[in-house]
Amino acid sequence: METVTLGPTGTYSHRAASAVTDDGISFAESVRGIADAVANGDADRGVVPIENSIEGSVTETLDTLADVELAVVREVVTPVRHALIAQSENFDTVASHSQALAQVRDYLDENYPDADREAVASTAQSVEIARDDPTVAGIAHPDNATGDLQVIAEDIQDRTSNSTRFFVVAPPGERSRAGGKSSFVVYPNANYPGLLLELLEPFADRDINLSRVESRPSGERLGDYLFHIDVDAGLYEDRTQAALDEIEAIAADGWVRRLGSYDVEHVV
């Protein structure tokens, strides 16, 4: 089973994908590229980051799930362990993905206040830059320190609770009703006082916990939004179906996308 995720080898996305499959893993340059590969049948599964506990939701993934018809079949949560990796302690620049740099800001301010900071495409790319350039240190998982590279310091993230959620996406025909969580995208195609309350009350009335609610611009017009909703309930439950029936009536001029139900796996 071919699984596609964000590359290159050694990224946190790659680590999450490795927990999903023992078969082949290929890489795409964007979340949209992953979604298109799955939707077009070029890959069986895609692994995309959906939310980081510090930096928040990955908006590219939210927008892609609204644009491309896919099923969410699994959630993988992996802790983020950042290490400072370089050929030696004599470096002038710290490079990494922009989110990784943000997640170690306090450490760098305290220990390397004079070092330049450079945002690059991925944590793994920062390691390869450090491998080629002794004046650059990368920030990535400590397992990436191979060859001439060494771990200068590890677990340098500002918060020890730092973790990232990944969605495993599949073709829409594999959407499941079974699982402890469910996700939806709701486009009401309307805007009036109390609209959001109307969309949330069907869940509250049935004692369904909302684990995430987020709005994103619809792209149709200024001030027009759609909503991403995660709930702690499965589509197999009558209460979930009843709540969705109400929401679909409210969004009769728009649409509701049932991404599916799934279980959550925590991996190191």
pLDDT one-digit tens code per residue, 195-241: 999 999 999 999 999 999 999 999 999 989 999 999 999 999 999 99
pLDDT at 35: 97
Instruction: Say if residue 184 is in the same domain as residue 196.
Output: yes
Instruction: Say if residue 144 is in the same domain as residue 168.
Output: no
Alpha helices in 150-237 (DSSP H): 195-204
Instruction: Say if residue 170 is in the same domain as residue 66.
Output: yes
Residue 28, amino acid: A
> Nearest CA to 208 among 257, 243, 179?
243
Instruction: Say if residue 62 is in the same domain as residue 129.
Output: no
pLDDT tops 90 at residue 85:
yes
C-alpha neighbours within 13 Å on the C-beta side of residue 245: 7
Q: Which of 154, 185, 212 is the last residue of a domain?
A: 154
Instruction: Say if residue 57 is in the same domain as residue 170.
Output: yes
Neighbouring C-beta atoms of residue 113, cutoff 10 Å:
7
Instruction: Say if residue 41 is in the same domain as residue 108.
Output: no
Q: pLDDT, tens digit, for every residue of 40-50?
A: 999 999 999 99
Report the percent of the chain where pLDDT is more than 90: 86
| Segments of the chain assigned E as strands | 3-6, 25-28, 45-52, 56-57, 71-79, 83-86, 93-96, 116-119, 136-140, 150-154, 163-170, 181-187, 210-217, 225-231, 255-262, 264-266
Burial class (CB within 10 angstroms; exposed 0-12, middle 13-18, buried 19+) of 89: exposed
pLDDT tops 80 at residue 67:
yes
* Cα–chain center distance at 123: 15
CA-to-CA separations, 258 to 55, 249, 261, in angstroms, rounded: 26, 14, 9
Structural domains in the chain (count): 3
What CATH code is carried by the domain that includes residue 52? 3.40.190.10
Question: β-strand 3-6 against 83-86: which pairing, if any?
Answer: unpaired
What CATH code is carried by the domain that includes residue 219? 3.30.70.260
- Domain of 239 in residue numbering reads as 177-267
pLDDT at 224: 94
Residue 40, amino acid: N
pLDDT band (50, 70, 90) for residue 121:
confident
Q: Which of 146, 175, 204 is the last residue of a domain?
A: 175
pTM for this structure? 0.87
